[in-house]
Structure 1
Amino acid sequence: MEIDFKDISYLQKGNARQRSAYDVITKYQILEKLKSYRPLVVGTIPINIDIERSDLDIILQTENFESLEKLLIRLFATHTKFAIRHTDKNLVCNFEIDNLPLEIYASTTETEKQTGYLHMVKEHQIIKSKDEKFIEKIRDLKRRGRKTEPAFCELLGISGNPYVEIFNYKII
């Protein structure tokens, strides 16, 4: 089954963590409040390779980091573990709602062209071609501190820069 990652309704039919993520997103109207920034939910939770300490990632597109920063402070500063930082090229905002850690990442790149989205889609395609043991090995590597893309590349025998080379992997 192909998932439309632009429509989060698939999360409400997923595992407990995915349903919890859906509940938080909808209860607090997070995507609606950030709608003008073209939000997309990405990362490990949507594709069910998250581990206990994984956060829910939301990516945004903006041309005005200052305006976005003010909005994020207004919307989320009262939540636990709120932190925000930005450079000329991106902004990262972290906080926790209902025991779910969230990370909002914004750049000037369209959300559908950001690597967070593209990696998730590619990883989902790979996962669909593998068995549950592969998924559990990914989680195990992540629990031992490995980032997602390097974990995939290690298991798939891909050398080089994992953030680039994962796109070259051919699914058989």
Structure 2
Amino acid sequence: MAHLAAGNERQRDAYRVLQESRVLLTLAAFHPYPAGTVPIDIDISGSDLDILCEANDLDAFATLIHRDLGNMLHFHCSRGTRSGDGASYVTCNFQIDHWPIEIFAQAVPIQQQNAYLHMKVEWELLQLWGAEGHREIRRLKRSGLKTEPAFAQVLGLQGDPYVELLHLATWSRIELRDWACKQPSFFPFSSTINERL
């Protein structure tokens, strides 16, 4: 959360909303972690403010969320099972001020959750691309693409973009950088990448 508190204007505003609404206090026992596009500065108008949580007892988590946040605007909470590994999760959506918020909880440490792994890879790539990369991802998102498909398009990835980004998340920073620099789709950012090596 310190990253948001010291970030750009939208990040600081997101942090303010979470603090003033006491959402962070409600989630404190579940190690709330900001994820998605806002922390890595590729959010666009209408982007969700995503918060990952680790909840070993999803029933108790859902009960607490309904009790403490159920009066929020546009509140909706649902249970699901992730395709692939069958892991259960809870998602809760609501709105505070102009921010749509989504809380995602699993009985999985946050650093092992797919959303965290996607964001980590995306952040590493953005560090290579610089401002040009941020602009291109935002452009693709404004055209209607979700975040992971936007990255997959720039990377020239084939197959399911969510799965492919998880594969990249298993690589070291050096392996990811070396591979990324060889991709033809990176040519528009080549001068930026060379400056950052």
Same-fold status (TM-score > 0.5): yes
| Alignment map for 1:80-95 (pairs within 5 Å) | 80-87=73-80, 89-95=88-94
Q: Does the residue aligned with 1:32 lie in a helix, a strand or coil?
A: helix
- Post-superposition shift, 1:129? 0.5
Q: Is residue 132 of structure 1 aligned with residue 138 of structure 2?
A: no
Aligned residue for 2:148?
A: 149
| Alignment map for 1:42-53 (pairs within 5 Å) | 42-53=35-46
Aligned residue for 2:177?
A: 171
Q: Does the residue aligned with 1:82 lie in a helix, a strand or coil?
A: strand
Aligned residue for 2:62?
A: 69
For 1:162 and 1:99, the matched residues in 2 are separated by: 29
Aligned residue for 2:15?
A: 22
- Post-superposition shift, 1:78? 1.4
Q: Does the residue aligned with 2:100 lie in a helix, a strand or coil?
A: strand
Give me the TM-score of the superposition, normalised by structure 2. Answer: 0.78
More displaced stretch, 128-137 vs 28-37: 28-37
For 1:38 and 1:99, the matched residues in 2 are separated by: 24
| Rg comparison, structure with higher value | 2
More displaced stretch, 25-34 vs 109-118: 25-34
Aligned residue for 1:112?
A: 111
Greater helix proportion: 2
Report how many aligned residue pairs link the two structures: 165
The question of whether the paired residues in 1 share the 8 Å contact of 2:46 and 2:99 is answered with no
The question of whether the paired residues in 1 share the 8 Å contact of 2:53 and 2:110 is answered with yes
CA RMSD of aligned residues (A): 1.5
Aligned residue for 1:5?
A: none
Q: Deviations over 1:72-128 (max 9, x none)?
A: 112211111111111361111000112211000111111111011111111111101
Aligned residue for 1:3?
A: none
Q: Deviations over 1:45-67 (max 9, x none)?
A: 00000010101001112232221
Give me the TM-score of the superposition, normalised by structure 1. Answer: 0.89
- Post-superposition shift, 1:164? 2.4
Structure 2 unmatched ranges of 5 or more? 82-87, 179-197
Q: Does the residue aligned with 1:78 lie in a helix, a strand or coil?
A: coil
Kindly provide the amino acid, as one letter, of the partner of residue 158 in structure 2: S
